[in-house]
Structure 1
């Protein structure tokens, strides 16, 4: 089998296409969540902590000299990223919890038909009860 044929079979399989769609939707969802964090959650948090901007927190390792910029350890960016991560993780957790709740409700409303084996076993059980 040629490499082009193998690639064609791989590319048109449902799993590869589902994965591609999942990645694209995931990237778009990531942008939505990032905007939610930056534009909705962080401003009130900033107000609550007195308007402090974490991204400006830094420790200077070496002062600027002439045209050479200062060397800084930007721990504020790390703190901001950590806060963003915690909020994103919480939002995703809540979204998954909501989706699972919907699935449980859907599963509870659909009662599967008993299989042929279950029906046959039920009939046998009922016949055995009648004999006693």
Structure 2
């Protein structure tokens, strides 16, 4: 029973839930970026290279077929996806910096806080006053 409680406290920690949400959103974002790469960027890239399709490149050695073009295509996809994510995170960080740069407005004190501040200041003055004994 103790093991179950320990697992529940672990599984319901904020970090674990945040991680799970991040993985799910990351997978969805990955699909969007993969579609961007395969359906939009790579056809344009192929036109710029004269219609070359990297995924069709292969070599045959004996009975083995090395599809190195698929590997090259995957590497290009990775570079484009990682650059896209980098640009996305970079943009988010800029927004965060702008929010952090906003000066905070001084908090308005309640009547009780003003009174306590005055009492504190009076006590400081009494403690700093010369001894009249």
With normalisation by structure 2, the TM-score equals: 0.74
Taking the aligned partners of 2:43 and 2:106, their CA distance within structure 1 comes to: 53
RMSD: 2.1
Displacement of 1:113: 5.0
Whether 1:57 and 2:57 are equivalent positions in the alignment is yes
Asked which structure has the greater CA Rg, the reply is 2
- Distance in 1, matches of 2:87 and 2:11, equals 34
Match of 1:78 in 2: 71
Partner Cα separation in structure 2 for residue 110 and residue 28 of structure 1? 36
State how far apart, in whole Å, the 2-side matches of 1:4 and 1:16 are: 16
Residues 1-132 of structure 1 aligned to structure 2 (within 5 Å): 2-62=2-62, 70-111=63-104
Cα distance in 2, alignment partners of residues 112 and 86 from structure 1: 44
1:6-28 CA-to-partner distances (Å, cap 9, x unmatched) read 11111221111111111111111
Give the CA deviation at 1:112.
6.8
Rounded to whole Å, the distance in 2 between the matches of 1:90 and 1:27 is 16
Q: CA deviation at 1:111?
A: 3.0
Q: TM-score, normalised by structure 1?
A: 0.74
Q: Deviation at 1:100?
A: 0.9
Q: Distance in 2 between matches of 1:90 and 1:13?
A: 31
5+ residue gaps, structure 1, are: 63-69, 115-119, 121-132
User: Any idea what SS the aligned residue of 1:94 has?
Assistant: helix
Tell me which residue corresponds to 2:115.
Answer: none
